[in-house]
Structure 1
Amino acid sequence: MSLSTEALFTAALGLQAPWRVERAELSAAKKRIDFEVVCTERRLTCPHCGAPDQGIHESIERSWRHLDFFQFEAWLHAAIPRVACTACGKTSQVPVPWAREGSGFTLLFEALALSLCKELPVAHAARHLRADAKALWRRIEHYVKLARQKDDMSGVRHIGIDETSLRKGHEYVTAVHDLQQKRLLFVTEGRDHQTVNAFTQDLSEHGGSAQAISHVSMDMSAAYLKGAQQQLPQAAICYDRFHVAALAGKAMDEVRAAEFKSRPTAVAQALGELDRASRRSLSWAMRTHHASWNQRHIQAMYTLQRTNLQSARAWRMKGALREVYEAAAQGHGEEVARTGLTKWIGWAMRSRLEPFKRLARTLKTHFEGVIAGMQQGRSNAFVEAMNGLMQNAKRAARGFRTSRNFIAIAYLRLSKLKHLPANPFEYAAPRFAGLST
């Protein structure tokens, strides 16, 4: 049995009684198709109180952008009834099944937009959809807020706290990650101890408990330490390998930069056999693992290690600290980690290299947290990876004017939210079922 064009489009759009397509108009020149949708009933249930068989007071014309039909931009138009209820005395607009109230997009279009924004920068997704980027930002914020309201954090036990910069380091946000579920839990502006308080409040609102947090991995920020001690009394504080390694790398760079600036003649004589290109590659080789060196890097580092330069000692000290971590990661036990770190701190204090002496004092002050971080080495790689993903989220939000937009896209991409609309192309039917959250 053949279907009329209107019935075919009614089925294609997933419409059910009392809604149907009355007319479809296609413009090849504009690459656009417009669907006129009508309500076939004259008496409806009151949207406010649920009283049945109520009369229609008036209808209001509305339009919504829908998923493209092939290469054609699709729009739905409908006169939305307003029911005058004799039971409650209110006049209320009937909700439509294909869009949420106040939106100019259908639910399926919004679901597709969210799926694209998970993978593409928002500006690119907007160009792909031929939509306004600001409109997509509003949708992201709306659906992320709804999904987070339903998010369950009751099982959170191990967390990582980290900061990330916005706009060239002049503005910061604090991010809290679930190290077991490997997802972003919370983001807020700032990086003081109050950010930890804000997290515990948010955790409580989502079924979690600060008393249940047993492990906190973070950098050596005094603010985060204060916040954790105040708000997470049961948690063991540990400092992850990524941040300790970053401090060691910074100390080595300070030694190298100061020596190359203050003793250029001695440096030139010590590295005399290296050509200019090899000297330029030296600083990069000092910062990276030997597995990534090419022949030029190998030659440069071989030459450096045969000198008496402070830079050579600084590089060896950085490598020795890495070896302490590797020994702990190989399961040699806590005592090995304590002995190795204690010896390294003593060496650094005697090194006469001020950046490493400062680092040694820092590690000594936070000794127990550093040891705990060594014993919890399984979380270090994830903390580092999440920092990179946060930077990717920042690039996806390029052009954002507020930190609120950055926070929204971070939640969308990194929180593994379970209550977001699904990509409409992943499911065939029903078209609109379950999207109106």
Structure 2
Amino acid sequence: MIEMLFTQALGLVAPWQVKQVDFNREAGRIDFQVTFGGSRHICPACGAAAQPFHDRLARSWRHLDFFQYEAYLHAEVPRVACSGCGKVTQIPVPWAREGSRFTLLFEALTLMLAPTMSVLAAGRLVRVPPRRLWRVIEHHVGKARARESHAGVRTVGIDETACRRGQQYLSVFYDLDAQRLIFATPGRDKSCLERFAEDLSVHGGQPQAVTHVSMDMSRSFQAGAAEHFPQATVCFDRFHVVALGSKALDEVRRAEVKSQPELKGTRWSLLKNPSAWTIPQLQTMHWLQRSNLKTARAWRIKQALRTIYATARSPDEARPLFQRWLSWARRCRLDPFKRLARTLTTHLTGILNGFEAGKHNGRVEAMNRALQEARARARGYRRVENFIAMAYLVAGKLTHLPTPPFAQIALVPHKTE
């Protein structure tokens, strides 16, 4: 009776059935002995019907825990000796993929846990070495990505994110319309866009169909976009433009603090949005604005640049605002802002293109924060391949991953292929 109960609970159908259940409380595990009741089967290699068995091989799989106990499935899996193709082939089992030592539900649990905690922590939770869980993650992420279609990709956001502190970077490519990560590759040079163009074509996309590319002012990215996405309009992202203004402001502050020691400790007040100032920072900024320091003037110029993005809604609205700002920056007698004015003048067309609706990297920056949070949970990744797999799992919106285990009724897979 109990065997029938677990046969149904595991979602098995004839001729598969649970023959025996062994519970070992001291060992903290429960073992299900599963048997195949037939003597013939379709050849898995060529499809020939009613082929006799050659032999049976013992196999075991880790399953979801039974209460607090580890659960394992064991079966002597038949191998078919086919008279048609002459091959001896093991028949597939309905609860696990070929070559795996976990059931599909256990692997689905791994994929559900990995984006919310480190793989090391997930391994401790399910009592499996992390390296084995990484193999599961990389297999399913790779398989799911292979089935993704990028035929509708028209607007692309490009950015870089750190893989290891000060050592290695990834270039990430984001579908701005679908708001998902579609490609990640090591490096941050021109060749990254070549690899992206190749990957886009493999997944049914067309590089020549991409209409907009949003990115920073990296010369490598610009050269790669011009070569591999010649039809695309280049949009320089607002986040990076304002970041250049903040960098120029900090250069002015660091130069002036040598002669004005009262500027020490003002860096974060200067860089933060005024709406986020604390009371001490508010007092500091009130003092600074009443002073005649270069840093105060630099802060006003930087804030004026930020205000352009807060008020302009189109390239036509932004153009006169930028022209006035550039005139001010050129005449401000602050070398960092004079250099910035020259840079922005050179890239003004791409900057104005960035004011088109939705053609900016705001979502990309949010994605990068999610990736860095995953990296922080893991305290870094030893292999860049692990970080890339986790990036797809966190931000790729993959639609062909196994269904989460608690959303399934039966063990037999329905949406895993």
TM-score normalised to structure 1 length: 0.92
Q: 1:73 deviation in Å?
A: 0.7
Partners of 2:162 and 2:170 within 8 A in 1: yes
The C-alpha deviation readout for 1:368-405, integer Å capped at 9, x for no partner, is 00111123466342132122122123234544221111
Q: Paired residue for 2:341, among 353, 360, 364?
A: 360
The residue that corresponds to 1:121 in the other structure is 118
Question: Greater CA deviation, 349-358 or 126-135?
Answer: 349-358
Q: 1:335 deviation in Å?
A: 3.4
Distance 2:277 2:332 in 1: 27
The residue that corresponds to 2:283 in the other structure is 299
Q: How does 1:330-349 map to 2 (within 5 A)?
A: 333-349=314-330
The percent identity for this pair of structures is 50
Distance 2:232 2:86 in 1: 56
The C-alpha deviation readout for 1:229-267, integer Å capped at 9, x for no partner, is 111111110111111111111111111112112x14xx4
Q: 1:413 deviation in Å?
A: 1.2
Partners of 2:400 and 2:415 within 8 A in 1: no
The residue that corresponds to 2:406 in the other structure is 425
Distance 2:304 2:227 in 1: 35
Partners of 1:108 and 1:435 within 8 A in 2: no
Q: Detail structure 1 runs of 4+ shifted over 4 Å in the superposition.
A: none
The two structures, once aligned, show a CA RMSD in angstroms of 1.6
Q: Paired residue for 1:147, among 144, 148, 153?
A: 144
Question: Greater CA deviation, 116-125 or 147-156?
Answer: 116-125
Unaligned 5+ runs, structure 1: 272-278
Distance 1:6 1:386 in 2: 48
1:42 corresponds to 2:23: no
1:191 corresponds to 2:171: no
Partners of 2:117 and 2:374 within 8 A in 1: no
Q: Paired residue for 1:9, among 1, 6, 11?
A: 6
Partners of 2:176 and 2:358 within 8 A in 1: no
The residue that corresponds to 1:274 in the other structure is none
Q: 1:170 deviation in Å?
A: 1.6
The residue that corresponds to 1:19 in the other structure is 16
Question: Greater CA deviation, 387-396 or 121-130?
Answer: 387-396
Distance 1:435 1:305 in 2: 61
Q: 1:433 deviation in Å?
A: 2.5
Q: Paired residue for 1:286, among 264, 270, 279?
A: 270
Q: Which amino acid aligns with 1:167?
A: R
Partners of 1:140 and 1:408 within 8 A in 2: yes
The residue that corresponds to 1:157 in the other structure is 154
| Shift in CA distance, 90/436, structure 1 to aligned 2, threshold 3 Å | farther
Other structure's SS at 1:37 match: strand
Other structure's SS at 2:171 match: strand
Partners of 1:348 and 1:360 within 8 A in 2: yes
Distance 2:379 2:272 in 1: 29
The residue that corresponds to 1:167 in the other structure is 164
| Shift in CA distance, 25/285, structure 1 to aligned 2, threshold 3 Å | same
The residue that corresponds to 1:100 in the other structure is 97
Q: 1:54 deviation in Å?
A: 1.9
Q: 1:324 deviation in Å?
A: 1.5
Distance 1:316 1:146 in 2: 52
Q: 1:169 deviation in Å?
A: 2.4
| Matched length | 417
Distance 2:74 2:275 in 1: 62
Question: Greater CA deviation, 94-103 or 164-173?
Answer: 164-173
The residue that corresponds to 1:328 in the other structure is 312
The residue that corresponds to 1:275 in the other structure is none
Q: Which amino acid aligns with 1:51?
A: A
Q: Paired residue for 1:379, among 348, 351, 360?
A: 360
Distance 1:376 1:53 in 2: 62
Distance 1:113 1:220 in 2: 39
The residue that corresponds to 1:219 in the other structure is 216
The C-alpha deviation readout for 1:72-123, integer Å capped at 9, x for no partner, is 1100111111111122111111111111111110011001110111222211
Q: 1:436 deviation in Å?
A: 4.9
Q: Which amino acid aligns with 2:363?
A: F
The residue that corresponds to 2:396 in the other structure is 415
Partners of 1:242 and 1:383 within 8 A in 2: no
Partners of 1:66 and 1:75 within 8 A in 2: yes
Distance 1:396 1:297 in 2: 31
Other structure's SS at 1:88 match: coil
Distance 1:185 1:397 in 2: 22
1:405 corresponds to 2:379: no
The residue that corresponds to 2:370 in the other structure is 389
Distance 1:42 1:129 in 2: 36
The C-alpha deviation readout for 1:5-57, integer Å capped at 9, x for no partner, is 11111111111111111111111122210111111112222211122222222
The C-alpha deviation readout for 1:278-303, integer Å capped at 9, x for no partner, is x63x3221111111112211111011
TM-score normalised to structure 2 length: 0.96
